[in-house]
Amino acid sequence: MLNLTTKEASSQEELIIFQIWMRFLVMIREKFVLVQILYTTNKECFQEILELLYMNIVEKKS
């Protein structure tokens, strides 16, 4: 790491944590919008997708 003062290092750490958090929130929002579109477009299709995803997760665990 560069030769930083404690104050600079902590503010840089906070900035990195903030950036990671923001990316995470954007990712969640994008996924939520996709789910919302799927749900409103075709509820039966959405149900089938959820069931397939669930089965896929269960199979991976066993």
The reported pTM is 0.42
Q: What is the distance between the alpha carbons of residues 27 and 34, in angstroms, rounded to a whole number? A: 11
Confidence tier at 21 by pLDDT (50, 70, 90): confident
Q: What is the distance between the alpha carbons of residues 7 and 13, in angstroms, rounded to a whole number? A: 10
- 2 pLDDT exceeds 70? no
Question: Left, alpha or beta for 4 (phi > 0: left; psi -120 to 50: alpha)?
Answer: beta
Confidence tier at 62 by pLDDT (50, 70, 90): low
Query: What pLDDT, on the 0 to 100 scale, is given for residue 1?
Result: 42
- 29 pLDDT exceeds 80? yes
Using alpha carbons only, how large is the chain's radius of gyration in Å? 20
